[in-house]
Amino acid sequence: MTRAIWCVLLLVACGAPPQATSDSATSMAAAMRLPTDGWIDVTAVLAPGRTPVYEGDAPLRVEQLKDMRRGDALTLSKLDMGAHSGTHVDAPRHFVRDGVGIDSIPLERLIGAARVIVIDDSVQAITRAELDRHDWRGAPRLLFRTRSSARGWMDSVQFHRDFAYLAPDAADALVDAAVQLVGIDYISAEQFGASAPETHRRLLGRGIPIVEGLDLRGAPAGDCDVIILPLRVAGADGAPARALLRPRARR
Q: How far is CA 156 from the centre of its chain?
A: 19
> What's the angle, vertex CA 190, arms to CA 104 and CA 59, rounded to 5?
75
As to burial, measured by CB atoms within 10 angstroms (0-12 exposed, 13-18 middle, 19+ buried), residue 160 is middle
Could you say which DSSP state residue 56 is in?
A: T
Q: How far is CA 199 from the centre of its chain?
A: 18
Q: Tell me how far apart the alpha carbons of residues 169 and 65 are, in angstroms, rounded to a whole number.
A: 48
Strands 141-145 and 181-184 turn out to be parallel
CA quadruple 103, 107, 112, 114: dihedral positive or negative? negative
160 is catalytic: no
Q: Tell me how far apart the alpha carbons of residues 170 and 146 are, in angstroms, rounded to a whole number.
A: 15
Q: Tell me how far apart the alpha carbons of residues 205 and 127 are, in angstroms, rounded to a whole number.
A: 19
Task: Select which of 88, 94, 134, 200 is catalytic.
Answer: 94
- Active-site positions read 94
